[in-house]
Structure 1
Amino acid sequence: MDQSTTILAMAIGGRVRQERQSRGWTLDQLSEAAGVSRRMVVNVEQGAANPSVGTLLRISDALGVGLPALVESPQPKPVKVTRRGEGAALWNGESGGRGVLVAGTESPDVVELWDWTLGPGDHHVSEAHSPGTKELLQVQQGTITVVVADQSVILDAGDALTFPGDVAHSYANPGTEPARFSLAVFEPGVGSGHRPAVTDA
């Protein structure tokens, strides 16, 4: 992990530990509630892991706080500003792509705003989110292919798409130039414990 990834991993680990301890939960209790291994919870809390977005979603949902709460510092003010370059890079592609969480709201109805870049050939597969999740996407640059369940859609710059996020979906850049898109995710009822347990992948 590079320095910025290490700093982010340590910050996430500290927030997970703080939220777990504030509930009086053991590592095993969080592991069971989130449907991830105890080892993964330990690694996340120690900042030793670079967990998938799916793993972080399961942990944040189990804690009832939403993913943005794990990557943002608590701020008492109603207005939160994320300056350029300050977002949380939670995904890195093999061809230079990045998925950066730039803003989000608190639970129970969480809205996340992402800035995605996919390098040529980059491909990101997302597991199904919790029931009722919706996603909105707009391409800023290049061309991307979005697959939602068994439907594939090709989008060019300026095109937008609305789709259910509670089914498996993926984003890919089939071109030779970088592609960039904005993504908003609405996840209702975070913390109600309805996310299915899956293995750490």
Structure 2
Amino acid sequence: MLTEQEEIEESVSDQLRILAAELRRHRKERQLSLETLSALSGVSRSMISKVERGETVPSTGTLSRLAEALGTTFSQLMVAHPVESEIVVIPADRQPILSDAVSGYQRRCISPVLPGRGVDWVLNTLPPHGTSGEFVAHRRGVEEYIYVLKGRLEARVGSRRVQLEPRDALYFQAHETHQFTNLGAGECEYFLIINSSGLRG
């Protein structure tokens, strides 16, 4: 019987394996070399190689840059295979989680990866006074929606800053850099929906 710590370590190992395989698959499907993906994303070749070998957990900012360069979504890099069913249940223990060891920022993917649908639904948790780090600008047509569950959140979109309280909501077009900061002394939890369906021609 595994201890709780062993279960956590096994879950992280499984997630690293999936992320490594999916990043490599998306890169090869687009016929991109490590050098080309590095140039497109601004992520070093050595970092991409380490992620593809399952040797490191990338920061959320790094994963965001790689997803944008590959023309895919955060969730599509975290899940092994797209789901076909119109009714999908994702048990809590099967929801991919990416934790940034340095900042303590955590992203839990709660939307299924459905073919032909460009929507990511993520539950984010920021530690006290923590920050998400800066996310790269998405392509025009990508929209983001925020709903704060608890805590006080500052959202910076380009040069503009807004402060959100629990139950406040925010919408923005995500073609500028953006960053989220917990303004409080407790954890801040918020839902984030990234809608890239507007990119479909």
TM over 0.5: yes
Contact 2:103 2:132 in 1 (8 A): no
1:55 and 1:31 mapped to 2: Cα distance?
Answer: 11
Residue 148 of structure 1 and its aligned partner are, at CA, apart by 1.5
1:37 and 1:94 mapped to 2: Cα distance?
Answer: 19
Residue 58 of structure 1 and its aligned partner are, at CA, apart by 4.1
Aligned position for 1:158: 167
Q: TM-score, normalised by structure 2?
A: 0.77
Residue 122 of structure 1 and its aligned partner are, at CA, apart by 1.0
Q: Structure 2 regions of 5+ residues with no counterpart?
A: 1-7
Aligned position for 1:198: none
2:158 and 2:30 mapped to 1: Cα distance?
Answer: 36
Aligned position for 2:47: 40
User: CA 1:93 to 1:190, structure 2 compared with 1: closer, same or farther past 3 Å?
Assistant: farther
Contact 2:141 2:199 in 1 (8 A): no
Moved more, 76-85 or 23-32: 23-32
How many positions carry a matched residue from both structures? 192
Aligned position for 1:101: 109
When the two chains are superposed, the root-mean-square deviation of aligned CA atoms in Å is 3.1
| Deviations, residues 111-161 of structure 1 (Å, cap 9, x unaligned) | 110101122111112222222221110111121111112222111111111
Q: TM-score, normalised by structure 1?
A: 0.77
Aligned position for 2:179: 170
Q: Judging by fraction of residues, say which structure has more helix.
A: 2
Q: Structure 1 regions of 5+ residues with no counterpart?
A: 193-201
| Deviations, residues 26-52 of structure 1 (Å, cap 9, x unaligned) | 544554555543322321111112223
Q: Is 1:52 the equivalent of 2:59?
A: yes
Contact 1:147 1:153 in 2 (8 A): yes
